[in-house]
Protein backbone atom coordinates (compact mmCIF):
# COMPACT_ATOMS: atom_id res chain seq x y z
CA UNK A 1 0.00 0.00 0.00
CA UNK A 2 2.87 2.35 0.78
CA UNK A 3 4.41 1.74 -2.63
CA UNK A 4 1.11 2.50 -4.37
CA UNK A 5 0.91 5.82 -2.48
CA UNK A 6 4.58 6.68 -3.07
CA UNK A 7 5.34 6.53 0.64
CA UNK A 8 8.89 5.48 1.57
CA UNK A 9 9.24 2.32 3.64
CA UNK A 10 11.99 1.78 6.23
CA UNK A 11 11.82 -1.71 7.80
CA UNK A 12 13.32 -2.36 11.23
CA UNK A 13 15.48 -5.45 11.87
CA UNK A 14 16.51 -5.71 15.52
CA UNK A 15 17.06 -9.36 16.41
CA UNK A 16 19.30 -11.52 14.25
CA UNK A 17 20.81 -11.63 10.80
CA UNK A 18 17.92 -13.86 9.74
CA UNK A 19 15.52 -10.93 10.06
CA UNK A 20 18.07 -8.57 8.56
CA UNK A 21 18.47 -10.79 5.49
CA UNK A 22 14.70 -11.11 5.03
CA UNK A 23 14.36 -7.33 5.37
CA UNK A 24 17.13 -6.72 2.83
CA UNK A 25 15.34 -8.96 0.34
CA UNK A 26 12.10 -7.08 0.97
CA UNK A 27 13.88 -3.77 0.33
CA UNK A 28 15.39 -5.09 -2.90
CA UNK A 29 11.91 -5.85 -4.21
CA UNK A 30 10.43 -2.44 -3.38
CA UNK A 31 10.93 0.88 -5.12
CA UNK A 32 11.70 3.85 -2.89
CA UNK A 33 12.81 1.62 -0.01
CA UNK A 34 16.37 2.79 0.42
CA UNK A 35 17.04 2.31 4.12
CA UNK A 36 16.99 -0.44 6.73
CA UNK A 37 17.06 0.41 10.41
CA UNK A 38 18.92 -2.20 12.42
CA UNK A 39 20.59 -2.55 15.79
CA UNK A 40 24.37 -2.55 15.56
CA UNK A 41 24.73 -3.77 19.16
CA UNK A 42 25.86 -7.37 19.12
CA UNK A 43 24.16 -10.02 21.21
CA UNK A 44 25.26 -13.61 21.62
CA UNK A 45 22.69 -14.76 19.05
CA UNK A 46 23.22 -11.96 16.57
CA UNK A 47 26.96 -12.56 16.74
CA UNK A 48 27.01 -16.38 16.66
CA UNK A 49 23.81 -17.73 15.09
CA UNK A 50 24.89 -17.05 11.51
CA UNK A 51 28.16 -18.13 9.93
CA UNK A 52 28.20 -15.23 7.49
CA UNK A 53 27.49 -11.64 8.50
CA UNK A 54 26.73 -8.41 6.69
CA UNK A 55 29.78 -6.19 6.44
CA UNK A 56 28.83 -2.52 6.28
CA UNK A 57 30.93 -0.59 3.77
CA UNK A 58 32.39 2.88 4.36
CA UNK A 59 29.21 4.50 2.97
CA UNK A 60 26.95 2.52 5.31
CA UNK A 61 25.71 0.05 2.70
CA UNK A 62 25.48 -3.75 2.82
CA UNK A 63 25.12 -6.15 -0.08
CA UNK A 64 21.94 -8.15 -0.43
CA UNK A 65 22.74 -11.86 0.05
CA UNK A 66 22.64 -13.74 -3.24
CA UNK A 67 22.87 -17.36 -2.09
CA UNK A 68 19.75 -19.60 -2.16
CA UNK A 69 16.93 -18.83 0.27
CA UNK A 70 17.67 -15.84 2.44
CA UNK A 71 21.33 -16.13 1.51
CA UNK A 72 22.55 -16.90 4.99
CA UNK A 73 24.08 -19.93 6.69
CA UNK A 74 23.00 -20.76 10.23
CA UNK A 75 25.50 -22.32 12.62
CA UNK A 76 23.68 -25.54 13.50
CA UNK A 77 25.73 -26.08 16.67
CA UNK A 78 24.71 -22.69 18.06
CA UNK A 79 21.11 -23.35 17.07
CA UNK A 80 21.16 -26.67 18.95
CA UNK A 81 22.70 -25.02 22.01
CA UNK A 82 19.77 -22.59 22.24
CA UNK A 83 16.99 -25.02 21.34
CA UNK A 84 14.46 -25.54 24.11
CA UNK A 85 12.57 -28.82 24.09
CA UNK A 86 9.14 -28.79 25.63
Chain length of the chain: 86
Is residue 80 very low, low, confident or very high in pLDDT (cuts 50, 70, 90)?
A: very high
In a domain, 53, yes or no: yes
Residue 56 falls inside a structural domain: yes
Contacts (Cβ under 8 Å, ≥6 apart) of 62: 24, 54, 55, 56
pTM comes to 0.80
pLDDT of residue 9: 86
Number of independent structural domains in the chain: 1
Q: Which pLDDT band holds residue 77 (cuts at 50, 70, 90)?
A: very high
For 64, the domain range is 10-81
Amino acid sequence: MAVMKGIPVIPHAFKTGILMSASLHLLAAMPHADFLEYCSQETVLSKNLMKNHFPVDSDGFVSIPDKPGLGIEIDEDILKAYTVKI
